[in-house]
Amino acid sequence: MDYMNAFRISAAGMNLERARVEATALNLANMHVPQDAKGVLYQPVRAVARSVLAPSFGANYEALGAHPLMPTEVRMEPTGAAPRLVHEPGHPQADDRGFVTYPGVNHLAEMVNLVSAIRAYEANVVAMNAAKAMALKALEVGGSQ
């Protein structure tokens, strides 16, 4: 029995979730960085993955018409979120009306995304460890005969 498919799928899932955590960390780290004097403002990002057909799981699975997909080619892309205007008249980068422009990062949504990514990463680790335990048990059974 080939356990490498299970390992590859879990690894692909862990890679995606790691990228989601990195995107969230970037967004949270830059949420209070105002627009600079040149007008450059941090643009929040998100991790986006393209799915491809996973390696075959056997004729029984394919006979059901199911096509298992796994995430690959994870990339960061801007969210296009509108900037936040915060009224801070004493701030050195405030405009004529006293507003400072900050990136459009929603910290509540970012924290929900962070917790979700961590839980999904943990689930992929559990799946990989289960496949590893099954492979070791198969070797143990096969070696005792």
Amino acid at 99: F
The predicted pLDDT at position 58 comes to 57
d(CA 9, CA 12): 5
C-alpha 103/C-alpha 32 separation (Å) is: 7
Please state, for a pLDDT cut of 90, what percent of the chain lies above it: 61
What pLDDT, on a 0 to 100 scale, did the predictor assign at position 126? 96
Residue 145: predicted pLDDT: 58
Distance from C-alpha of 88 to C-alpha of 55, rounded to nearest angstrom: 55
Structural contact between residues 117 and 125, judged by C-beta atoms closer than 8 angstroms: no
Distance CA 45, CA 120 (A): 19
Which tokens belong to 82? 């509108």
Of 134 and 51, the one with more pLDDT? 134
H-helix segments, the chain:
4-30, 59-63, 107-143
Mean pLDDT across 52-68: 63
- The SS3 call for residue 130 is helix
Angle made by CA atoms 73, 122, 132, in degrees to the nearest 5 = 85
pTM (two decimals) = 0.81
Residue pLDDT, tens place only, 71-98: 778 999 999 999 999 999 999 999 999 9
Residues 111-142 pLDDT 10s: 999 999 999 999 999 999 999 999 888 888 86
